[in-house]
């Protein structure tokens, strides 16, 4: 049996002392999985140290494909009221208007999304607010002892604790750092309101590799206009300190082409900065326990694929593996490995890792291969811009192109 440091917890409801599935961690992955399994009639315990998920800068947008998975697994009605939908995204590249993307995206603040999903949990899945003090896993029973002495036994343990290491370490699952401090994510509110903007949403790519910025995305969350900027600086750099101190000036210098439509980048909130590393996992192929979401791998927010991995894990487990596993006795490592080897999961996770690495290389690498790739991409984009200018010359209603 392994121990985890923790403090006080309220009591576990008596009927949750023995469950089919115990899920530790009620972030987006754990809460979504608990909701789907609960609705399907499984006995589920969901445990998290906090009743209310704190407000933090994490994913703030998903695309249509992730929304379709939420709909497919029956969580559409819970998630739809929590998001701000948008379409018609104006994209700027090379300092000029490039194209309008008529694709659906859905924005949210992460804490509100997780809390809303928790409130939509079915009545048979209460959130147990508590910390795990001891955990033991094996081919038949998984046992959790909470810090108040309550015990939960389950046939399957799902670890959905995000970046947190305590439970993983106690079980013997290790994090492997594939790319330390891979990227920097920056979030802030703009002073301008959605109804004052000329466009519903804007994505603006940086112009020079030396800027070490991939892109800025400006979009509405409710009645706020939010900015998410992704790049390849580190938290400790002077650049980051200067950005925190004077975001407006630095944004105007970096992206003057969209400054006017963003209210000259007047910023109305503190600047939130998060450094993200790419990580994988080792020691996870074991009986009785499965890791999901960021507790399994972390990828980079820049290509926007973290939630893709979360919803895919939830879908594969809830639709296929957990019902199969619970049909027969035991929870040996072969059962668990079928999930880790699932071709859709492997492809989704690997695509997320590949695009995290590629996004950085194509933005900042200075070797000949990457300069040539950028030259090829940018030449094709310049031709598209020129072609559009030519076709639309003199037409009213188009954004002014520099």
Contacting residues toward ligand FAD, per CB under 6 A:
24-30, 47-50, 53, 57-61, 131-132, 160-162, 164, 166-167, 185, 274, 276, 293-295, 301, 304-308, 310
Work out the burial of residue 280: count CB atoms within 10 Å of its CB; fewer than 13 is exposed, 13-18 middle, 19 or more buried.
middle
Dihedral angle of Cα 176, 182, 83, 127, to the nearest 10 degrees:
30
Which residue lies nearer to ligand FAD by CB, 194 or 306?
306
Q: Toward ligand FAD, which CB reaches closer, 194 or 304?
A: 304
* Closer residue to ligand FAD, CB minimum distance, 98 or 219: 219
Distance set, CA 190 to CA 102, 196, 225 (Å): 23, 11, 5
Query: Least distance from C-beta 74 to ligand FAD, angstroms?
Result: 18
* Least distance in angstroms from the C-beta of 31 to ligand FAD: 7
Which structure tokens are listed for 283? 């020691």
Give the shortest CB-25-to-ligand FAD separation in angstroms. Answer: 3
Give the shortest CB-375-to-ligand FAD separation in angstroms: 28
CA 291 – CA 173 distance, rounded (Å): 9
Phi, psi dihedrals of residue 246, rounded to the nearest 5°:
-145, 70
CB of residue 166 to ligand FAD, shortest distance in Å = 4
**DSSP per-residue string spanning 303-326:** TT-HHHHHHHHHHHIIIIIHHHHH
Give dist(CA 186, CA 145) in Å, integer: 38
For residue 304, the Cα-to-chain-centroid distance in whole angstroms is: 7
Residue whose CB is less far from ligand FAD, 48 or 257:
48
Cβ–Cβ < 8 Å for 363, 74: no
Q: How far is 305 from 309, CA to CA, in rounded Å?
A: 7
Q: Which two structure tokens, joined as six digits, stand for 300?
A: 């980079």
Nearer to ligand FAD, 160 or 251 (CB): 160
List b or e across 116-151, with b for residues whose CB sees 16 or more CB atoms inside 10 angstroms: bbbeebeeebbbbbbbbbbbbbebebbbbbbbeebe
In the complex, the smallest distance separating the C-beta of residue 130 from ligand FAD, rounded to whole angstroms, is: 8
CA pair distance 267, 228, nearest whole angstrom: 12
- Give me the least distance between CB of 295 and ligand FAD, in Å please: 6
Q: How far is the CB of 193 from ligand FAD (least distance, A)?
A: 22
Q: How far is the CB of 237 from ligand FAD (least distance, A)?
A: 17
Can you say whether the dihedral through the CA atoms of 92, 93, 96, 101 is positive or negative?
negative
Identify which of residues 96 and 142 has a Cβ nearer to ligand FAD in the complex: 142
- Rounded to whole angstroms, the Cα distance separating 298 from 313 reads 13
d(CA 31, CA 310) in angstroms, rounded, equals 11
Residue nearest to ligand FAD (CB): 27
**CB of 95 or CB of 206, closer to ligand FAD:** 206
| Nearest CB to ligand FAD, comparing residues 152 and 255 | 152
User: Nearer to ligand FAD by C-beta: 58 or 284?
Assistant: 58
């Amino acid at each position: 049996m392994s121990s985890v440091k923790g403090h006080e917890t309220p009591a576990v409801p008596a009927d949750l002392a023995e469950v089919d599935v115990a899920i530790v961690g009620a972030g987006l992955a754990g809460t979504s999985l608990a909701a789907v399994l609960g609705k399907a009639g499984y006995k589920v315990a969901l445990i998290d140290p906090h009743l209310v998920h704190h407000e933090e800068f994490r994913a703030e947008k998903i695309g249509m494909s992730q929304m379709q998975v939420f709909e497919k697994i029956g969580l559409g009605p819970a998630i739809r009221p929590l998001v701000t939908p948008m379409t018609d995204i104006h994209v700027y590249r090379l300092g000029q208007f490039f194209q309008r993307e008529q694709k659906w995206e859905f924005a949210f603040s992460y804490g509100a999304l997780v809390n809303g999903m928790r409130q939509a949990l079915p009545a048979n899945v209460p959130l147990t607010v508590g910390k795990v003090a001891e955990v033991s896993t094996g081919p038949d029973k998984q046992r959790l002892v909470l810090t108040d002495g309550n015990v939960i036994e389950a046939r399957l343990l799902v670890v959905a604790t995000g970046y947190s290491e305590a439970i993983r370490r106690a079980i013997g699952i290790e994090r492997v750092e594939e790319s330390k401090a891979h990227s920097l994510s920056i979030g802030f509110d703009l002073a301008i309101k959605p109804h004052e903007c000329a466009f519903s949403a804007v994505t603006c790519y940086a112009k020079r590799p030396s800027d070490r910025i991939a892109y800025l995305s400006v979009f509405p969350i409710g009645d706020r206009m939010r900015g998410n900027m992704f790049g390849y600086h580190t938290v400790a750099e002077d650049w980051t300190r200067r950005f925190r101190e004077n975001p407006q000036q630095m944004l105007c210098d970096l992206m003057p082409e969209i400054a006017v439509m963003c209210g000259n980048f007047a910023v109305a909130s503190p600047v939130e900065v998060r450094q993200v590393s790419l990580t994988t996992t080792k020691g996870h192929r074991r009986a009785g326990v499965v890791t999901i979401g960021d507790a399994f791998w972390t990828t980079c927010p820049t290509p926007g694929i973290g939630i893709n991995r979360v919803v895919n894990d939830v879908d594969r487990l809830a639709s296929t593996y957990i019902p199969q596993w619970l049909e027969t006795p035991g929870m040996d490592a072969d059962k668990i490995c079928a999930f880790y080897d699932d071709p859709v999961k492997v492809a989704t996770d690997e695509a997320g890792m590949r695009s995290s690495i590629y996004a950085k290389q194509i933005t900042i690498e200075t070797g000949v291969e990457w300069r040539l790739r950028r030259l090829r991409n940018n030449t094709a984009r310049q031709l598209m811009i020129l072609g559009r200018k030519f076709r639309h010359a003199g037409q009213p209603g188009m954004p002014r192109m520099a």
